[in-house]
Amino acid sequence: MSDDSETADGGSEPAAPGDDLAWETTDTRIDYSCPGFDIRMDDVRLPDETESDFHYVDEPAAVVVLPLTPDGDVVVIDEWRQAVGRTNRGLPAGGTEPDDDDDYAAAARRELAEETGHEAEAVEPLVTVEPANGIANSVHHYFVARGCEPSADQNLDFNESIRPTTVGYDDLERAVLAGEVRDARTVLGVLYYELAGE
Amino acid sequence: MSDDSETADGGSEPAAPGDDLAWETTDTRIDYSCPGFDIRMDDVRLPDETESDFHYVDEPAAVVVLPLTPDGDVVVIDEWRQAVGRTNRGLPAGGTEPDDDDDYAAAARRELAEETGHEAEAVEPLVTVEPANGIANSVHHYFVARGCEPSADQNLDFNESIRPTTVGYDDLERAVLAGEVRDARTVLGVLYYELAGE
């Protein structure tokens, strides 16, 4: 309504009150399920009163970990990604579980241990983003794990094809900036740490 | 097999030949369709010979545009995102169409015009990433659009709730680095441009 509903800097999220772009959700249901996620279908009313529906991936929040060793190297995983038909080198990550009770730092430690066999001295939140909010409700909580040492046993699900390895941080950043890393999760984690991490 | 299958720097993609993490795809089909995307189901054979299947989102490649005005501001859009139930401030983007013939720069110009009503003097590729390769075959081609001026008519699909606006580049970068921007597409585009753009 009034000008003070605008944020001062204009760069962050738009103000929510009186949002004339908002859709009204009149009903919702799971329309399809598969082992990795569900598809949710919402009945919606658009701003112009049109009735429509919208389908999107419904999955639990996930954690993504940038694991740094005492030497400043990064623990990454080589992992088969069936959706894109190739082995991806990237940051360890995984979905949260009901028992996590939104303790994302604990989930980050668990995924780090399960996927790489490493334990961290400290785990700190980096940033939280929605990787694909046009088609999914996914939320990724990024963490920096410091002082990572190989001390846990790797513990994979039956269909995870993962090999941990260690790369130099500068090498990984150079590969990201050369456009050689296609995995957005890894690109975002490295760039965010480079610019906003301490 | 031999050590020379490793890349020299270790930071980029792992070597493909003799990949012992790879799955074999024995059959594939569309298992579900909705207006935004399909779900593809692959029958697969894992490295240990286990037979299984894998489901993932199947959608066309998309373009993401970082549109800069002659004054160095950024043209962004406020857009309702039903999957996360909020209005998102972010970079214009959209799926490619069969007629694009993989001309992603042309697709970037089209999406910029349709979503923001702006035309660019020049469009340059920035980076190509997979936003969610654990659950989707999506590929996002990022472009920097320079010299953007309001000269085209906005032309939205019936269910697009979008309002274009202009923000200062420094304000947008500050919001990204303060963790105020949840849209990973925008975070990645701004950070990549900041570190790798000219």
Structural domain including B169 reads 62-196
Q: What is the ipTM of this complex?
A: 0.91
Does residue B165 sit within a domain?
yes
- Same domain membership, residue A81 and residue A50: no
> What DSSP line would sit under A110-141, residue for residue?
HHHHHHH-EE-SEEEEEEEEBTTTTTB---EE
- Same domain membership, residue A183 and residue A118: yes
- Same domain membership, residue B68 and residue B54: no
Angle, helices B184-196 vs A184-196, to 10°: value is 60
Residue A125 predicted with pLDDT over 70: yes
Does residue A191 sit within a domain?
yes
Mean pLDDT of chain B: 90
Report the run of H or E that residue A177 belongs to, with start and end: helix A169-177
- Same domain membership, residue A34 and residue A93: no
Number of domains comprising chain A: 2
What residues of A are in contact with residue B168 (Cβ under 8 Å)?
Answer: 9-11
Range 20-49 of B in CB contact (< 8 A) with A: 21-23, 25, 31-32, 34-37, 39, 41-42, 44, 46-47
Residue A68 predicted with pLDDT over 90: yes
Q: List the end-to-end C-alpha distance of chain A, in Å, as a whole number.
A: 40
Say which DSSP state B13 is in: P
User: B36 or B154, which is more confident?
Assistant: B36
- Same domain membership, residue B44 and residue B24: yes
Residue in B135, B139, B184 nearest the CB of A36: B135
Q: What is the pLDDT of residue B198?
A: 67
Residue A13 predicted with pLDDT over 80: no
Mean pLDDT of chain A: 90
Give backbone dihedrals phi and psi of A6, rounded to 5 degrees, phi first.
Answer: -80, 145
- Same domain membership, residue A49 and residue A79: no
Starting at the edge strand found earlier in the chain, the sheet holding B162-168 runs B86-90, B73-81, B162-168
> A48-55: which pairs have CB atoms within 8 A and are 24 or more residues apart?
A50/B158, A50/B159, A51/A26, A52/B158, A52/B159, A54/A23, A54/B36, A54/B82, A54/B83, A54/B159, A55/A31, A55/B34, A55/B35, A55/B36, A55/B37
Q: Which CATH number goes with the domain that contains B105? A: 3.90.79.10
Q: Is A61 on the interface with B (CB under 8 A)?
A: no
Tokens of A83: 């959706």
Residue in A12, A21, A59 nearest the CB of B181: A12
What helix, strand, coil percent values describe chain A, rounded to 5? 20, 40, 40
Does residue B153 sit within a domain?
yes
Q: Is A13 on the interface with B (CB under 8 A)?
A: yes
CA B154 – CA B144 distance, rounded (Å): 19
- Same domain membership, residue B40 and residue B138: no
- Same domain membership, residue B143 and residue B105: yes
Q: What is the pLDDT of residue A155?
A: 77
> A8-11: which pairs have CB atoms within 8 A and are 24 or more residues apart?
A9/B167, A9/B168, A9/B171, A9/B174, A9/B175, A10/B165, A10/B167, A10/B168, A10/B171, A11/B167, A11/B168, A11/B171, A11/B172, A11/B173, A11/B174, A11/B175, A11/B176, A11/B180, A11/B181
Does residue B6 sit within a domain?
no
Q: Which of A114, A139, A155 is nearest to A62 (CA)?
A: A139
Tokens of A101: 């009770």
What's the pLDDT tens digit per position in B59-107? 999 999 999 999 999 999 999 999 999 999 999 999 999 888 889 999 9
Cβ pair A102, A132 in contact under 8 A: no
Residue in B132, B176, B179 nearest the CB of A138: B132
- Same domain membership, residue B123 and residue B66: yes
Average pLDDT over residues A107-133: 96
Does residue B126 sit within a domain?
yes
Cβ pair A126, A190 in contact under 8 A: no
- Same domain membership, residue B106 and residue B32: no
Residue in B9, B82, B85 nearest the CB of A174: B9
Give CA torsion, residues B158, B163, B169, B174, to 10 deg: -100
Does residue A1 sit within a domain?
no
What residues of B are in contact with residue A158 (Cβ under 8 Å)?
Answer: 46, 50, 52
Average pLDDT over residues A143-161: 84
Average pLDDT over residues A169-193: 98
What residues of B are in contact with residue A61 (Cβ under 8 Å)?
Answer: none
- Same domain membership, residue B30 and residue B80: no
Does residue B12 sit within a domain?
no
Can you tell me which residue has the tokens 């260690």? A166
Q: What is the pLDDT of residue A11?
A: 66
Q: Which of A131, A154, A133, A128 is nearest to A143 (CA)?
A: A128
Cβ pair A30, A38 in contact under 8 A: yes
Q: Is B128 on the interface with A (CB under 8 A)?
A: yes
- Chain B residue closest in CA terms to A192: B191
Do residue A130 and residue B162 have CB atoms under 8 angstroms apart? no
User: How many C-beta atoms surround the C-beta of residue A180 within 10 A?
Assistant: 16
Q: Which of B88, B136, B9 is nearest to A185 (CA)?
A: B136
Residue A7 predicted with pLDDT over 70: no
Residue in A22, A134, A196 nearest the CB of B177: A196
What's the pLDDT tens digit per position in A20-53? 899 999 999 999 999 999 999 999 999 999 999 9
- Same domain membership, residue A112 and residue A49: no
User: A184 or B18, which is more confident?
Assistant: A184
Q: Which of B123, B116, B101 is nearest to B167 (CA)?
A: B116
Does residue A26 sit within a domain?
yes
Average pLDDT over residues A135-152: 95
What region, left, alpha or beta, does residue A171 occupy, with left being phi > 0 and alpha being psi -120 to 50 degrees?
Answer: alpha
What's the pLDDT tens digit per position in B115-159? 999 999 999 999 999 999 999 999 999 999 999 999 867 777 777
